[in-house]
Amino acid sequence: MRVSVLRAARDLAVEDRPRPEPGAHEVLVRVGSVGICGSDVHYYDHGRIGRFVVEDPLVLGHEASGTIEEVGSAVEGLRPGQRVSVEPGVPDLTCSQCLAGRYNLCPNMRFFATPPVDGAFSEYVVVHSAFAHPVPDEIGDDAAALLEPLSVGVWANQKAGTTAGSRVLITGAGPVGLVSLQTALAFGAVEVTVSDINPSRLALARDLGAIATVDPRSASLDDLSKAPDVLLECSGFPPAIADGIRALDGAGRAVLVGMGGDEVPLPLARIQERELTVTGTFRYANTWPTAISLVAAGRVDLDRLVTGHYGLDQVEDALQAGRRDEHSVKVMVHPNG
Ligand SMILES: [Zn+2]
């Protein structure tokens, strides 16, 4: 099978590798669509993300969907020909965090496209059967792949307690900000405001239901007509984190989704005076059923985010699409053409 391999920073090549065999509890998936994530771009540019360093050739891509080609001997309930969305992290399912249901915090997680685990820019991948989620026909391959970033938005809103009547501020209108916006509305939020410096992304946020948008270069988050009770911080940009927290109403909840670096200044006095809750999120747990339902029911539109399509030979081009074009939101790779 053909595979796109990152050999070192800015060094990507298509190679032939033997097609993997599924283990007893695994399925072999013929990959249909793979979304490109900021983390893929970061690995391509720098060969590392924090403590994760690309030392051996690595296959990128962790937002994937496809069709089951083969099932392992012990797999029940899945069959060849079924379309699935791939949940790209497989925990050990035996540690105390896994047993408590928080498998995203499993210290032994094996996650796609995170050294040394290969990802999905590949004609075929093997997936643990519990993490290959069947999708109905109304969810296309691109949307099925984007259930992964949608899961980040679902998890963030669950952590934030977004509910009927919530007023939500989202800082950062990248793909995760835009799915968090749609999820907040689906959870019953009535006023969702989105801030970003990219005008085309703000326009898309309004199209997707944001009641207001803010460009922080020309307006302040303090001037919102009504203070939000939820902040979903999706930019990772330190001033946005601090300004977003400062904008919250009393007893508000801030969920930090964007990667902001190891240490960032926070408005501590405001957190104390207003009894704010600030929490992190790390990936997601048990979100696929909700994500599938929201998309199948038309409450979240993932296809609206897709701005480009590339083959396996064009992964390098796809990884640079965001830098080339400010209208780019989410580009998809189709390893089987
Ligand atoms: Zn575990």
User: What does the DSSP assignment read for 102-149?
Assistant: -GGG-TT-EETTBTTB--SSBSEEEEEGGGEEE--TTS-HHHHHTHHH
Distance 98 CA to ligand 1 centre (A): 4
Residue 203 is inside which H or E element, if any?
A: helix 199-207
What would the pLDDT profile of 113-124 be if each residue is shown by its tens digit? Answer: 999 999 999 999
Which residues are close to ligand 1, an ion, with C-beta < 5 A?
Answer: 91-92, 95, 98, 106
Distance 93 CA to ligand 1 centre (A): 5
Residue 36 pLDDT: 98
Residue 54 in contact with residue 113, Cβ under 8 Å? no
Distance 102 CA to ligand 1 centre (A): 8
What would the pLDDT profile of 261-273 be if each residue is shown by its tens digit? Answer: 889 999 999 999 9
- Residue 337: is its pLDDT beyond 90? no
Per cent of the chain over pLDDT 90 is: 96
What would the pLDDT profile of 69-98 be if each residue is shown by its tens digit? Answer: 999 999 999 999 999 999 999 999 999 999
Q: Three-state secondary structure along 218-237?
A: CCCHHHCCCCCCEEEECCCC
- The answer to whether the bond into 116 is cis (omega within 30° of 0) is yes
What would the pLDDT profile of 309-326 be if each residue is shown by its tens digit? Answer: 999 999 999 999 999 999
Residue 294 pLDDT: 98
Distance 127 CA to ligand 1 centre (A): 17
Q: Largest alpha-carbon pair distance within the chain?
A: 60
Distance 115 CA to ligand 1 centre (A): 18
What would the pLDDT profile of 225-243 be if each residue is shown by its tens digit? Answer: 899 999 999 999 999 999 9
Residue 268 in contact with residue 200, Cβ under 8 Å? no
Distance 161 CA to ligand 1 centre (A): 25
Report the sign of the C-alpha dihedral through residues 118, 119, 122, 123, in that order. Answer: positive
Residue 74, token pair as written in the block: 């012990």
Query: Among 16, 17, 64, 18, which Cα is nearest to 40's?
Result: 64
Residue 185 in contact with residue 209, Cβ under 8 Å? yes
How many C-alpha atoms does 266 have within 13 Å on its Cβ side? 18
Residues in CB range of 300: below 8 A, 6 or more apart: 150, 179, 182, 183, 186, 291, 294
Distance 200 CA to ligand 1 centre (A): 41
Distance 181 CA to ligand 1 centre (A): 30
- How far is Cα 171 from Cα 189, in angstroms, rounded to an integer? 16
What would the pLDDT profile of 24-50 be if each residue is shown by its tens digit? Answer: 999 999 999 999 999 999 999 999 988
